[in-house]
Every structure is written in C-alpha cells, then in structure tokens.
Amino acid sequence: MARFLLVGNGAREHAIAEAVCKNPNAKLFAFVSANNPGIVGLAEKSGGQAQMGDIHSPSEVASFAKKHSVELAFPSPDAVLAAGVSDALLEEGIKCAAPTKEAARLEWDKAYCRQLLKDYKIPGSPKFGIFEDEKEAHSFIDSLGGQVAVKPAGLTGGKGVKVTGFQLKDSNEAKEYASELLRSKPSGLSSIVVEEKLDGEEFSLQAFSDGSRVYGMPMVQDHKRAYEGDVGPNTGGMGSYSDAGALLPFAKKAHYEQAIEIMQKTIEAFRKKTGERYVGVLYGGFMITAKGVRLIEFNSRFGDPEAMNVLSVLQSDLLSIFQQMADGKIRNAPEFESKATVCKYLVPEGYPGKPTANQPLSFDHARLKKSGAKVFFASVHEKEGVVYTQSSRSIALVGVADSISQAERMAEEACLAISGKVWHRKDIGTPALVQKRIAHLRQLGV
Ligand code: AMP
Ligand code: GLY
C-alpha cells in the first residue's frame, strides 16, 4: 500500500483525491480545514483517514504525516505551499510532489517571478516594472499611457490585481491603487508590479514538473468574473472548459508550444539560480495576443477549477506520476483522454461580496446521476447527513463528452439537480461564449 497525504479541502483537492484513489494501492490520508464530504469519504474508503487541523501549520501537517507513516505527500493550495508545508515534510524524510517554499515563490512573489524571467532572457513577459516607491510607480504608469495592470507582489487570493478599463477607470485610479498597495501592503510583501495592459484571450496551461522537464496537460479556460458575459467582480473562478485534444477552440498548436517553452525555460532558470529543482505542478496563466503568447502569472499548483477539467480526462495513474515527480524523473509522458470538459461552480447567494453561509443544499440524486456529470465538493461541510454551504464556492459539476457543447449540457443539467441558496453562471462552455472568444482573437488579427 502507498500511504499518501493530501493537504487541502476544496473541489480541486476532491478531484486530486479521486484521481489518486483510482489506484487500488493508495491509502489516502487527508489533512483538511473543513470536513469536505468527498475527501473524507475517499479517505475512509481507501483505509486511510481525514483529520481537521490548521493546514497552514507546517508542524501540524508534519506530525499528522509522521503519525500515519505517510510515504508521499501533495500539499495542494497556494497558501499552504507559501507557508513551507512541503519543506517540513521533506525534513521528516517524507517524499513530496509539490514545490518547496522557495520553488513556490514563482507564485507567491510576482516580482521575483518577473525578474527571474528577465534575468534569464525568457520570452513572454509584457513590459513591466517592480516598485517600492510611489513616484517611480506613477511615472511608469504614465509612460504606459495609463493602460496597465497593477499587482501586489504577494498572494491575495486572486483578488488583488486591478486593470485599467476593468477595475480601474483611468490612469489616476491606477496611480491611486498603486499608492494604496504600497502603503497598506495587503499581500505582506512590500513591492508592487506594474505591467502594460494586454489584450487577448486567456488560457491556463498546467504541467507536471520533475525539475528537469515539464509535461503539459490540456489547455483550459477559466472564467474569473462573477457574472454572465464576463462582467462583475473577480472571483476564485466560476467555471472552466477544455476541448478534446490539448488545444482550446481559439488556440493553435504554436500557442501551446510557446507556453510550454516558457515553462520549460523557467524551471531550468530556477534550477540555475537556486540549485534547486522545481518539483510539482506548474500552472501558467497565459494570454494569446496579437504579438504572441504572453505570461500573465505562474501558480505553483493545480488551478481551481482547472484541475477538475484535466483530472477528469487523465488516463495515466496520478499516484505514479506524483511518485515519479517526487523521485525526480517522470518516466512516461502522462496521457489524457481526448474528450471535452466543462466545469461549473455552484456558489452561495451573494458570492463573492456577501456570501450567505450555512445554508442546506438538497440533491435530486436521480437527476444528478442521469446528468452523467461528476460532482466535486468545495467549500461545504456535512452535518448529520446534510450538506451546508460555507462562504466560498460550494460544489463543482463537471461534464465530460465528445464536444464542449455536450459537456456543457451535462454540467448545466447537474447544476439544476442541486437546490438551495446557490447560483451559477449558465453561459460557461456554451457555443455563444466559445464563439465570442474566437471572434475576439479574429478581431485582434490573431
Ligand atoms: P493574475 O492574478 O496575475 O492572474 O491576474 C488576474 C487577472 O488580471 C488575469 O486573469 C487577467 O485577466 C488580468 N491581468 C493580469 N495581468 C494583466 C495584464 N498585464 N494585462 C491585462 N490583464 C491582466
Ligand atoms: N483558476 C485560477 C487559479 O486557480 O488561480
């Protein structure tokens, strides 16, 4: 038996747990901050155990791992990696398929990441500047005509980036936001990154990295804006889709290859700079622009919801991939079934601003089963057989089919089988929305 530790309790982690438990040798130990019924169920079924605790405490996680003689671990969420949970596990001699705190810096310090790409002449960055001084930031914003993205360097749960024309009205608001960030330091880091504003279509590319080579998964497109038609505040991601094969309908093979090249060069640069290997999942947020593929950011983990798309079609054994990554050599390129996927998130009423938590959900089990969609629990907890919402995204429903539109129908039908004080974006994965993406790039001349 392989005693495997998963740290985290979102829908992404439920999908990871499910994929790992497909291997009959896996015994799942889960360290969670809420009793996610999906993860708890899989842990018990596999002969392992789930335990609640502070997932951001390296010592608590390490002592749980030691107590259960865990052999291989996958700490999953960004803040857990930034807290140094992998390092604590490695110090105990436990193999780890996720990045150390230093390696996860590619995500938790955007200034470090941009500087690394610049120092090693890796293509793909927009024009950018790193600032600790207000006046310098303001004059850089002016030099870009006020068309910018302003970012705190550190982690802010995906909600700290503001872009002119979206969250920022004009150059003055961009400068005010830059000043506010430099004064209040909401991410805990003192610098900000200001970038030229890019126009194009975004895609997420996740890859398995053993420190020497990255192996790409299918491209996915996430939907960060809260409301239909891509308006409203940013969220953790309302849903996502992928197509049969590795590409999205608006992307070309060359875009995929450019993105992989940027990722491959980055893990090589990281190794040259630090002497350390980048072991784990590397996630690139990219944009296809008229000038080629540009890197928006790196994450040092699976995306949420993007993990649900790719893991739903992963054919290779995830436990073996994790073992090989932790051992420093992926022996065979992971394989994916050529199917489209659509993931839609049910979120609490009032999400993201004022979510109503602790609301019971009711399930039409027959209808849910008939939809054929997969169900991944996120920010919910179960008490006496009833599933209750918490304040973040509640449940992800994933359709897998030959085409995006078929997968969309499955996910939509599954959303309608769950009722309570929750809502979802109906437009994700619909033909109209996919066509809009294609038309957008055509209009830019891509
Ligand atoms: P990030 O947290 O860096 O992924 O940024 C969040 C979102 O802000 C991205 O998904 C993009 O939609 C947008 N964004 C970030 N950087 C830029 C940029 N340089 N130009 C245009 N939009 C951006
Ligand atoms: N879906 C965006 C993220 O995981 O950061």
Instruction: Give residue-wise pLDDT tens across range 251-281.
Output: 999 999 999 999 999 999 999 999 999 999 9
* Closest ligand 1 atom, residue 297 Cα: 3
Residue 284 lies in a domain: yes
The pLDDT of residue 217 is: 98
Same domain (yes/no): 89, 181:
no
Same domain (yes/no): 312, 257:
yes
Looking at the CA of 164, name the nearest ligand: 1
Q: Tell me which residue has tokens 């896996």.
A: 26
Residue 101 lies in a domain: no
The token pair that represents 256 in the structure block: 């995929």
Q: Is 195 in the pocket of ligand 1 (CB under 6 A)?
A: yes
Residue 425 lies in a domain: yes
Q: Find out whether 399 and 408 touch, Cβ atoms under 8 Å.
A: yes
Among 135, 162, 196, give the residue marking a domain's end: 196
Q: Which of 58-67, 183-192, 198-207 has the lowest mean pLDDT?
A: 183-192
In testing the pocket of ligand 2, which one of 12, 13, 156, 222 has its CB within 8 Å of the most ligand atoms?
222
Same domain (yes/no): 204, 192:
no
Tens digits of residue pLDDT in 333-390:
999 999 999 999 999 999 999 999 999 999 999 999 999 999 999 999 888 999 999 9
Q: Find out whether 224 and 287 touch, Cβ atoms under 8 Å.
A: no
Looking at the CA of 230, name the nearest ligand: 1
Residue 104 lies in a domain: no
> What is the distance between the alpha carbons of residues 243 and 265, in angstroms, rounded to a whole number?
26
Q: Find out whether 152 and 181 touch, Cβ atoms under 8 Å.
A: yes
The pLDDT of residue 196 is: 98
* Closest ligand 1 atom, residue 198 Cα: 20
Q: Is 304 in the pocket of ligand 2 (CB under 6 A)?
A: yes
- Tell me: pLDDT of 158 over 80: no
Judged by DSSP in three states, 291 sits in coil
- By residue count, the chain amounts to 446
The pLDDT of residue 1 is: 81
Q: How far is the CA of 67 from the centre of ligand 2 (A)?
A: 32
User: Which CATH number covers residue 188?
Assistant: 3.30.1490.20
Same domain (yes/no): 226, 315:
yes
Residue 135 lies in a domain: yes
Which neighbouring-strand residues pair with 416? none
CA-nearest of 145, 138, 100, 403 to 275 is: 100
Residue 227's pLDDT band (boundaries 50, 70, 90)? very high
Q: Is 334 in the pocket of ligand 2 (CB under 6 A)?
A: no
Residue 145's pLDDT band (boundaries 50, 70, 90)? very high
Q: Find out whether 233 and 353 touch, Cβ atoms under 8 Å.
A: yes
**Domain that includes residue 42, residue range:** 2-96
Same domain (yes/no): 235, 319:
yes
Looking at the CA of 285, name the nearest ligand: 1
Q: How far is the CA of 310 from the centre of ligand 2 (A)?
A: 13
Among 282, 302, 327, give the residue marking a domain's end: 327
* Closest ligand 2 atom, residue 240 Cα: 1
- Tell me: pLDDT of 187 over 90: no
Q: How far is the CA of 27 from the centre of ligand 1 (A)?
A: 39
| Amino acid found at 221 | Q
* Residue 246 vs residue 383, higher pLDDT: 246
Same domain (yes/no): 227, 322:
yes
Tens digits of residue pLDDT in 389-437:
999 999 999 999 999 999 999 999 999 999 999 999 999 999 999 999 9
User: Which CATH number covers residue 366?
Assistant: 3.90.600.10
Which neighbouring-strand residues pair with 202? 287
Return the residue whose CA atom lies nearest to atom 4 of ligand 2: 303
Reported as type and span, the H/E element at residue 241 is strand 239-242
What is the C-alpha end-to-end distance of the chain, expressed in Å? 50
Residue 122's pLDDT band (boundaries 50, 70, 90)? very high
Q: Is 297 in the pocket of ligand 1 (CB under 6 A)?
A: yes
Answer positive or negative: Cα dihedral of 222, 227, 231, 234: negative
Judged by DSSP in three states, 135 sits in helix
Same domain (yes/no): 388, 423:
yes
Report phi then psi at 319, rounded to 5: -60, -40
The pLDDT of residue 78 is: 96
Same domain (yes/no): 260, 288:
yes
The pLDDT of residue 157 is: 77
> What is the distance between the alpha carbons of residues 366 and 264, in angstroms, rounded to a whole number?
46
> What is the distance between the alpha carbons of residues 415 and 422, in angstroms, rounded to a whole number?
10
Same domain (yes/no): 212, 140:
no
Q: Is 129 in the pocket of ligand 1 (CB under 6 A)?
A: no
Residue 112 lies in a domain: no
For the chain, what is the domain count?
A: 4
CA distances from 429 to 308, 395, 425, 433 (A): 14, 17, 10, 7
User: Which CATH number covers residue 82?
Assistant: 3.40.50.20
Q: How far is the CA of 161 from the centre of ligand 1 (A)?
A: 7
Q: Is 79 in the pocket of ligand 2 (CB under 6 A)?
A: no
Return the residue whose CA atom lies nearest to atom 5 of ligand 2: 303
> What is the distance between the alpha carbons of residues 260 and 256, in angstroms, rounded to a whole number?
6
Answer positive or negative: Cα dihedral of 184, 185, 191, 195: negative
Same domain (yes/no): 229, 172:
no
Same domain (yes/no): 304, 373:
no
Beta strands 2-7 and 72-75 are parallel
| Structure letter (DSSP) for residue 75 | E
What value does the mean pLDDT of the chain take? 97
Among 268, 298, 327, give the residue marking a domain's end: 327
Q: Is 107 in the pocket of ligand 1 (CB under 6 A)?
A: no
Q: Find out whether 237 and 224 touch, Cβ atoms under 8 Å.
A: yes
- Tell me: pLDDT of 159 over 90: no
In testing the pocket of ligand 1, which one of 161, 189, 283 has its CB within 8 Å of the most ligand atoms?
161
Tens digits of residue pLDDT in 296-346:
999 999 999 999 999 999 999 999 999 999 999 999 999 999 999 999 999
Q: What burial class does residue 49 get, using C-beta atoms within 10 Å of its C-beta: 0-12 exposed, 13-18 middle, 19+ buried? A: middle
Q: Is 107 in the pocket of ligand 2 (CB under 6 A)?
A: no
Residue 413 lies in a domain: yes
User: Which CATH number covers residue 235?
Assistant: 3.30.470.20
Same domain (yes/no): 141, 176:
yes
Mean pLDDT (whole number) for 87-106: 98
Mean pLDDT (whole number) for 157-170: 90
- Tell me: pLDDT of 221 over 90: yes
Beta strands 422-423 and 386-389 are unpaired
